Amino acid sequence: MKKLGFGMMRLPKYNDESNRNVDMIVAANMVEQFMINGFTYFDTAFMYHSFFSEVVVKQILVEKYPRSSFTLADKMPTMFLKKAEDMPEIFSRQLMKCGVEYFDYYMMHDVNSSNYDSVVQAFDGFGFISSKKAEGQIREIGFSFHDDAVLLDRVLTDHPEVDFVQLQINYLDWEDEGVQSRKCYETAVRHGKKVIVMEPVKGGTLANVPEAAEMVFKAHDPEASVASWAIRFAASLPNVFMVLSGMSSMEQLQDNMSYMKDFKPLCDAEYETINKATAVLKGAVAIPCTTCGYCLDAGCPMDIQIPKYFTLFNTEKLLGSRGFSPQEEYYFNTAENHGKASDCIGCGNCEAACPQHLKIRELLVDVKEMFEK
């Protein structure tokens, strides 16, 4: 398979009054061009486009092309499971809505610290999708993941039966202590799992970077789109077999296909360019935290993960949310097992230990206002 996958979560719409107002003509033309150019991977989910994406998949893909000509990925929505008995009912409905007899790739959706024990493990989610694989209704099983490398290691240790994992990976999050793209990728590699990449352009934000960062990219290659650097970064990782892009227009599709049809991994000079652009982006950070961890070593009585929260705050401040905010999700996943910014009791232990002399207590108020709205 070619490494570019069509994410069916940001499809073109004829107006913004409803997320279900998908422009079926444009979307169908995009699917046609995607297939003509030899791309075959499509990714949908239960709740995408306000629960309409799977229906769109049936109408513009499944009913128009032979089942053997494309691969389809779907997900068990952990966020909607109330009991184990919900899974067979939802799975059957997904097959019906998509109009298929099997899924090529199927995931437990958004495994994280808030649902792993209470939902995924409690309802034996991996046991269920494994049974569907044994019955031939799933070809390969895995899970999408938005959390840290420690939890990922635990999940993969508990469930060596999974075939793959879907991770958020992009050059800005690669060394980010909030998202931990590199650490999660290396954890998956250590467990021998192949990787699907989501959010390679960080919800579109890395296609529209500040001018100073764009100039770095254009100085190296004036013809290459800014988005292409982000997608090629993810696709160049050896264990990555698919990079998803939620394409909303024919222009985005044509641009992505132009460099992914005959994909060439990044060279050393291109990695250097990405590092320069990343430094420009991170140079505009709101909180100059170096993530040294001294504040944590000082002993926060509320166990607030200060460096991680500051990293997430900086990314959100720099790029801004375009609808769904992955930084907010990572914040609340972390807060599931640690203190929130609003839990600060103002003891000052952290500030006494901070070598950057940051006014951490005041900054935590900013974090609270950003993420705990």
Sorted by where each begins, the domain ranges of the chain are 4-276, 294-371
Cβ count within 10 A of residue 90: 14
Report d(CA 280, CA 214) in Å as an integer: 10
Contact (CB, 8 A) for 337 and 327: no
- pLDDT for 191 equals 98
Report d(CA 54, CA 79) in Å as an integer: 17
- pLDDT for 69 equals 98
Report d(CA 111, CA 143) in Å as an integer: 7
Report d(CA 130, CA 143) in Å as an integer: 12
Among residues 126, 145, 66, 58, the alpha carbon closest in space to that of 93 is found at 58
- pLDDT for 324 equals 57
Contact (CB, 8 A) for 105 and 140: yes
Return left, alpha or beta for 71; rule: phi > 0 is left, psi -120 to 50 is alpha, else beta.
beta
- pLDDT for 74 equals 98
Report d(CA 69, CA 179) in Å as an integer: 35
Q: HSE of 268 in the Cβ direction (CA atoms, 13 Å)?
A: 0
Report d(CA 204, CA 157) in Å as an integer: 33
In tens digits, the chain (373 residues) has pLDDT values of 899 999 999 999 998 778 889 999 999 999 999 999 999 999 999 999 989 999 999 999 999 999 999 999 999 999 999 999 999 999 999 999 999 999 999 999 999 888 999 999 999 999 999 999 999 999 999 999 988 999 999 999 999 999 999 999 999 889 988 789 999 999 999 999 999 999 898 877 788 888 889 999 999 999 999 999 999 999 999 999 999 999 999 999 999 999 999 999 999 999 999 999 999 888 776 887 877 778 988 889 999 999 999 989 988 887 765 555 778 889 999 999 999 999 999 999 999 888 688 899 999 999 999 999 8
Q: Which residue blocks in the chain are alpha helix, DSSP H?
A: 24-36, 48-51, 53-57, 86-98, 125-134, 149-158, 181-190, 211-220, 226-235, 250-260, 268-282, 294-297, 306-319, 326-335, 349-353, 360-371
- pLDDT for 291 equals 78
Report d(CA 335, CA 108) in Å as an integer: 22
The pair of structure tokens assigned to 315 is: 């990314």
Fold for the domain defined by 4-276: TIM Barrel (3.20.20)
For 118, which DSSP code?
I
- pLDDT for 320 equals 66
- pLDDT for 293 equals 79
pTM: predicted TM-score of the whole model, two decimal places = 0.84
